[in-house]
Amino acid sequence: MIIDCHTHVNWQGHRADDAVRHMDRIGVDKAWVLSWQDKEAGLDRYNYVHLAPEDVMEAYRKHPDRFIPFCGIDPRRERAEETLRELVDQGCKGYGELKLRLMYDHWDLVHIYNVCAELKLPVLVHIDVPLPHTGMWYGGNVEALERALVLCPKTTFIGHGPGFWREISGDADRVTQPYPKGKVAPRGKLKKLLAKYGNLYADLSAGSGLNALTRDVAHARRFLAKFRKKLLYGTDTYDRDHLDFLESLDLDAGVFKDITGRNAAKLTH
């Protein structure tokens, strides 16, 4: 079974039925469907697209055999915890996509992370760091994520986004591009975090995840094999590029199955 760990509905012109047709075309059996909710969206004038938890649950009810719902309730929202618990009662299996202009060790978030641990919900976070030509940021950086990992050891976290995947390389602090090119330098922070924290996983989706692999194919093969139990195939797009690349590497069958389905199934069983 192939599970896409990062999809959206009512996004880029694709509704739930369109997403299912796309999954059929590229050979994906199930998909995590994520929301994006930001109570302070006015701070994000250029990028924010409201992806309502209610729409996620509606898509799930329409296609319960294909979609696995995730709902990232903004912790600053009134009745945030109660709403999350209600959604879990309706079938929600994860918390995300979390994409906020809050440091990810913010105390309101720490409370929600602990609720997620109680409810056995993995937490999928998007990280962007403020670069000179964008000024955009979400979550802080991987240091903020690490503080959350320490504060909430019973919570499962899944990292995603340019600010997360740039840290695969040891020279990330000196690079000002969101999608760095060139060989991966030794001593990347991301690999240290994946090795150190049993509660951290990584979402390979979007241009950020694909770029982290394709920039150095020889490194990608080693990385995928070493962290096979911590990595999740995903798209965050409506194409087949990620799966095509993974298939092109001729990975060990067990490694491929872990990354493309078994790890995701374990986290949302």
What residue spans define the domains of the chain?
3-267
pLDDT at 67 over 70: yes
Evaluate if pTM is beyond 0.85. Answer: yes
pLDDT at 117 over 90: yes
Range 86-95 average pLDDT: 98
Residue 242, pLDDT score: 98
Residue 183 to residue 174: CA distance in whole angstroms: 14
Residue 8 to residue 4: CA distance in whole angstroms: 11
Residue 97, pLDDT score: 97
Strands of 40-175 (E only): list them. 67-69, 95-98, 123-126, 157-160
Q: What is the pLDDT of residues 43-53, one digit of tens each?
A: 666 688 889 99
pLDDT at 134 over 80: no
Least confident range of 117-121, 132-136, 153-157, 263-267: 132-136
Angle (CA) 96-100-101 rounded to 5° is: 165
* Topology, domain 3-267: TIM Barrel (3.20.20)
**Using an 8 Å Cβ cutoff, are 249 and 220 in contact?**
yes
Residue 13, pLDDT score: 85
pLDDT at 254 over 70: yes
